Amino acid sequence: MPLYKARKIDRDGYKSIMKKTATKVMEQTTDAEKAMAVFEFLDFKRKNKIRAFVDMLIERHMAVKPEAKPGPSQKD
């Protein structure tokens, strides 16, 4: 969220990264893990894995972002 608050990443990019992360994490959990409380589910190891995954998605988004938005000087 610091990148979004600092306006280094746009709202749509932030939303898509969070959706991809939540979907990926929940697809890989078992029923027993889904029944756990949040603080039990998000142990230190899992938090670090999720953080690394989010960082990778942010890097991908930042690499693609300049290509996706042409500057205003390129209008015909």
Residue 46: closest CA among 75, 69, 26 = 26
Inside any domain, residue 72: no
Please check whether residue 59 lies inside any domain of the structure: yes
Helices 11-27 and 44-68 pack at an angle, to 10 degrees, of 140
**Does 75 reside within a domain?**
no
Structural domain includes residue 26 = yes
Give the residue from 21, 10, 12, 7 showing the smallest Cα distance to 52: 21
pLDDT digits (tens, 9 = 90+) for 34-48: 888 988 888 899 889
**Inside any domain, residue 56:** yes
Region 7-27: what's the mean pLDDT?
86
Give, as one character, the DSSP assignment of residue 35: T
In a domain, 4, yes or no: no
In terms of residue numbers, what domain contains 29?
A: 10-66
Per-residue confidence (pLDDT) for residue 12, from 0 to 100:
85
Q: What is the mean pLDDT of the chain?
A: 80
Looking at the 3D structure of the chain, how many domains does it have?
1
